[in-house]
């Protein structure tokens, strides 16, 4: 499903989306890769993630504007990756993708959402804090964060 409005359509990804998702992730992380030499290959294994995890994409007109990768693990969910193409920054796409992932996690019975971000990306820590996440620990180059998921979706 695609949309022609300013608000993108959110849908589950399929294997045909793998190349577009990789490109989106690579474009989103490109500025970060220039300053962080220990950032892992964040777009590796997209096909496996589509098959084994939950991947949502945000589409705007005919292009992929963003994606989120979610692992459901019993009473908690893990935000594996989120990326918004730089062309679409500032339009609330990351917030919409996170909200979609949170709704699914609640429906699946998760009471907590977890993530890890890079210590060299303080802008991510600030964004997640703004969205209700709390820092729980720092391990090496990782900042671990959690968010309690309140209520259930019926």
- Between 34 and 113, name the one with better pLDDT: 113
pLDDT computed for residue 3 by the predictor: 41
Confidence of residue 33 (pLDDT cuts 50, 70, 90): confident
pTM over 0.85: yes
Reported as a single tens digit per residue, the pLDDT across 62-108 is 799 999 999 999 899 999 999 999 999 999 999 999 999 999 999 99
Total domains present in the chain: 1
How many CA within 13 A on the CB side of residue 11? 12
- Between 100 and 42, name the one with better pLDDT: 100
* 81 in any annotated domain: yes
Given a cut of 50, is residue 1 above it in pLDDT? no
For 38, the token pair is 């220990």
pLDDT computed for residue 154 by the predictor: 44
Given a cut of 90, is residue 4 above it in pLDDT? no
Q: Which CATH number belongs to the domain containing residue 82 in this structure?
A: 3.40.630.30
Q: Which ranges constitute the DSSP H helices of the chain? A: 18-35, 46-52, 93-107, 122-130
* 109 in any annotated domain: yes
Given a cut of 50, is residue 54 above it in pLDDT? yes
Given a cut of 50, is residue 125 above it in pLDDT? yes
For 36, the token pair is 């962080």
Q: Which of 43, 2, 38 is nearest to 23 (CA)?
A: 43
* 18 in any annotated domain: yes
* 42 in any annotated domain: yes
Confidence of residue 5 (pLDDT cuts 50, 70, 90): low
* 127 in any annotated domain: no
Given a cut of 50, is residue 51 above it in pLDDT? yes
* 139 in any annotated domain: no
pLDDT computed for residue 77 by the predictor: 97
Domain that includes residue 30, residue range: 9-116
* 148 in any annotated domain: no
**Do residues 149 and 112 make contact, with C-beta atoms less than 8 angstroms apart?**
yes
**Do residues 22 and 67 make contact, with C-beta atoms less than 8 angstroms apart?**
no
**Do residues 38 and 46 make contact, with C-beta atoms less than 8 angstroms apart?**
no
Listed in sequence order, the residues at least 6 apart from 90 whose beta carbon sits closer than 8 Å to its beta carbon are none
Alpha-carbon gap, residue 43 to 75, rounded angstroms? 27
How large is the C-alpha radius of gyration of the chain? 15
Alpha-carbon gap, residue 62 to 53, rounded angstroms? 24
Alpha-carbon gap, residue 57 to 64, rounded angstroms? 7
* 147 in any annotated domain: no
Q: Of 16-20, 22-26, 113-117, 120-124, give the lowest mean pLDDT range.
A: 120-124
């Amino acid at each position: 499903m695609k949309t022609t409005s300013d608000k993108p359509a959110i849908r589950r990804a399929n294997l045909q989306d793998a190349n577009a998702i990789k490109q989106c992730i690579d474009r989103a992380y490109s500025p970060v890769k220039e300053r962080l030499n220990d950032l892992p290959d964040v777009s590796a294994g997209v096909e496996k993630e589509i098959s084994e995890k939950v991947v949502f994409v945000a589409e705007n007109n005919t292009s992929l504007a963003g994606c989120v990768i979610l692992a459901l693990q019993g009473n908690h969910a893990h935000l594996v990756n989120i990326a918004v193409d730089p062309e679409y920054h500032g339009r609330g796409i990351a917030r919409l993708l996170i909200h979609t992932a949170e709704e699914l996690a609640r429906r699946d019975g998760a009471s907590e959402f977890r993530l890890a971000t890079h210590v060299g990306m303080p802008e991510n820590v600030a964004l997640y804090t703004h969205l209700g996440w709390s820092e729980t620990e720092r391990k090496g180059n990782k900042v671990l964060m959690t968010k309690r998921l309140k209520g259930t979706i019926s």
